Structure 1
């Protein structure tokens, strides 16, 4: 057996990251496509809560917990999924999460009561968190340097598509006068169908060349690299080597050795918390906004929401393309800045009772949000050493899901306590902190190149 050589491994990994492969791009899109399943699971519930309330008459606490449960499960899934991704491999975890999505997603549709639904949605959040951690690892190791920045940032575009699609399905059911009982079961159960489709699309995915190299499985790495990139990695020996196992505790020590890695990671964690907080709180606020305008009909409310999220779809597509011209740092600055201004404008409109401005402010806010949220997973995953990339992606996603859980669960009570205008002003704190972090903490990391 050949001798372990860290410099040789780094040389091979750097060679792979610089190469373009159409198959690698396809893998990247398959990873991004899984965000559709997450978007459906996260946000379809928000459009059926009104039906659940009419059928089961739950307490406000139980209703909030049903909406937030999947976020709580995702925190656990992000931690476990990141560790398993580095330990067992990208492919094993990736296929496993889709099977879990399918089983638990379908099971939601057969929940006998709100309590069981809450438990199932918490369990559903576990593969959700695992999939994001694993998917970003796949993107960073399958797509060429420079292009992986763009591919990673596309997750918000697919999020917006998932949200629009879920609203459209609810609207269709309402127009067809489908009873509330069957409606919520079909809508939530559809997540299992989407997961099954993705499972079949992914079933022949190869393991990433970079993970195989890191694990010393050189023979398989050389064969896979030849198939994907036309490069047999001739710098590596034709036999496997024993590579020392990495430990979870070494992750933070490793990224602190490099100033750029450390500052970029810290920014990712801060920005993830802030963008999730601004969205989860304002996401709750949108239905109230329409009530203020005198819109009480469910169908009309969903239609207006659909129009606003179409703006988010456009923003989610434009943002990644801008990275090629302005970089990651300016994209974050512009995104958080737009959200901050939009929320201040919304607060002023509420206090001045100029309520016609609120839908415009909501659309502007979402435009900025889909820029500031795009790179909070891309940046920490991209700058992480390859041997800790799954762990880095999972750790970063924790900072997205914790505020998502807390905001969804607690914000309705907070909203009632301080009023509509005060709540909107308070929400503006989140993008302001994100903007300051982008200005003073984030270095430009577009096309980042560091030792693996």
Structure 2
């Protein structure tokens, strides 16, 4: 056996040993990574509810207003790719610290913009750390928790989104109740995103680099120190000297996952599910306030409160889904989620076609329940099946399939909505959960508890 093969064998053994036996502190790390989703949820959904105030103040054309709403999604598309790649190249820890610092600065800056043009620019830049942090956070979870537990934690990202949405809506509701000036409402709301980001930065500051990444990069001394500190294990199978490791090209991960049909099918499903769930949500969520107006909810505050109630239901769904995943598997939760969304959208379309509008809030609640299941594992699956040396890249690549349709849907769907009408638009959206359902049935293998060979 050559020295390089022996070295690779030692690294593989150490990585498998870590994944199989630890972590006593993995849950804390997992929740710290999940907490950053609160920041993204705050920013993504606060803009939806304060956009009306920005429009009334600056009177931009619809295209510019759409860019202000979708700008963060566009930036996150870039951030997901760059951040995942950098996470593999320079490390997980430096990336999650850098992304939080960058977000804090940009979140504060957007509160002081003097035009919608500047808001668009700032929000495009703001999206970069958001996209990067999600892809980096998933690599941290998969390398800091044992198999079985890491899948459950990864699937909780939708629960954290729902919590962030409820918090955002609650704060805006308070501002409206106390009759805060509308300019102050949107500026304070957007700027407040820096507060949870700062708290997360402080809480994450002392987290070490993952031992898995250190091992894969030949930094054995640091890996042994981290393992000793976190798990009271010195990783005696590793030598005490660092070694030079040739880093594979990040682009090679596409060729690598094709070698194993299970990993390839799981990854392909992840991409399809990311696209399908992001499209179904970004389109349907756009006109939830419109639907509520149709059934008699006519005030901004009323829409805010009814929407908040919906997201409380979504948060419950987002918690239940990961809890039952060990029993039904990743495939089971995906099939159930997409099927529920598909049926809910058909119900909504029927209610619109037949003028039974009173059913629309019921259909919206059912749709969100299913969505928070079908979206729960679309990031977990491609990240967990990736090899550690490609994990950041794989996670970022998958998140690209979330952000691209989100950007296009928020930016372009209002035009389609106006052109074909509410009922036809609802029926059109139903195509996407159907695609996700078919992919879950025919493409996705069961990979709960998966460990690469």
Q: Is TM more than 0.5 here? A: yes
State the match for 2:101 in structure 1. 99
Whether the aligned pair in 2 keeps the contact of 1:19 and 1:229 (CA below 8 Å) is no
Counterpart check, 1:262 vs 2:264: yes
CA drift of 1:2 comes to 9.5
Whether the aligned pair in 2 keeps the contact of 1:167 and 1:306 (CA below 8 Å) is yes
Distance in 2 of aligned mates of 1:88 and 1:425: 45
State the match for 1:372 in structure 2. 374
State the match for 1:61 in structure 2. 63
Q: In the alignment, which of 327, 338, 363 is matched to residue 336 of structure 1?
A: 338
Q: In the alignment, which of 189, 213, 216 is matched to residue 215 of structure 2?
A: 213
Whether the aligned pair in 2 keeps the contact of 1:107 and 1:120 (CA below 8 Å) is yes
C-alpha deviations, 1:31-62, integer Å up to 9, x for none?
00000001011111001011111111111111
Task: Give 4+ residue runs of structure 1 displaced > 4 Å after superposition.
Answer: 1-4
Unaligned runs of 5+ in 2: none
State the match for 1:401 in structure 2. 403
State the match for 1:308 in structure 2. 310
State the match for 1:194 in structure 2. 196
Q: In the alignment, which of 434, 437, 451 is matched to residue 449 of structure 1?
A: 451
Q: Comparing 48-57 with 412-421, which one deviates more in the overlay?
A: 48-57
Distance in 2 of aligned mates of 1:365 and 1:307: 14
Distance in 2 of aligned mates of 1:106 and 1:73: 17
Residues 279-290 of structure 1: pairs in structure 2 closer than 5 A: 279-290=281-292
CA drift of 1:219 comes to 1.0
Q: Comparing 46-55 with 347-356, which one deviates more in the overlay?
A: 46-55
Distance in 1 of aligned mates of 2:144 and 2:400: 23
Distance in 1 of aligned mates of 2:452 and 2:247: 21
Distance in 1 of aligned mates of 2:186 and 2:24: 40
Whether the aligned pair in 2 keeps the contact of 1:64 and 1:409 (CA below 8 Å) is yes
Distance in 1 of aligned mates of 2:338 and 2:261: 24
Q: Comparing 51-60 with 121-130, which one deviates more in the overlay?
A: 51-60
Distance in 2 of aligned mates of 1:52 and 1:289: 22
Distance in 2 of aligned mates of 1:185 and 1:257: 50
Whether the aligned pair in 2 keeps the contact of 1:4 and 1:241 (CA below 8 Å) is no
1:199 partner SS: helix
Distance in 2 of aligned mates of 1:22 and 1:28: 11
Q: In the alignment, which of 136, 139, 160 is matched to residue 138 of structure 2?
A: 136
Distance in 2 of aligned mates of 1:360 and 1:91: 43
C-alpha deviations, 1:145-179, integer Å up to 9, x for none?
11000000000000000001101111000000001
2:427 partner SS: helix
Distance in 2 of aligned mates of 1:68 and 1:388: 29
C-alpha deviations, 1:288-333, integer Å up to 9, x for none?
1012113221111111111111100100000000111111001000
CA drift of 1:3 comes to 8.5
| TM-score, normalisation: structure 1 | 0.98
1:444 partner SS: coil
State the match for 1:324 in structure 2. 326
Unaligned runs of 5+ in 1: none
Distance in 2 of aligned mates of 1:229 and 1:235: 15
State the match for 1:425 in structure 2. 427
State the match for 1:434 in structure 2. 436
CA-based RMSD? 1.1
CA drift of 1:22 comes to 2.9
1:237 partner SS: coil
Counterpart check, 1:273 vs 2:275: yes
CA drift of 1:246 comes to 1.3
State the match for 1:291 in structure 2. 293
Task: Figure out how many residues of one structure are paired with residues of the other and give that number.
Answer: 451
CA 1:118–1:64 in 2, change beyond 3 Å: closer, same or farther?
Answer: same
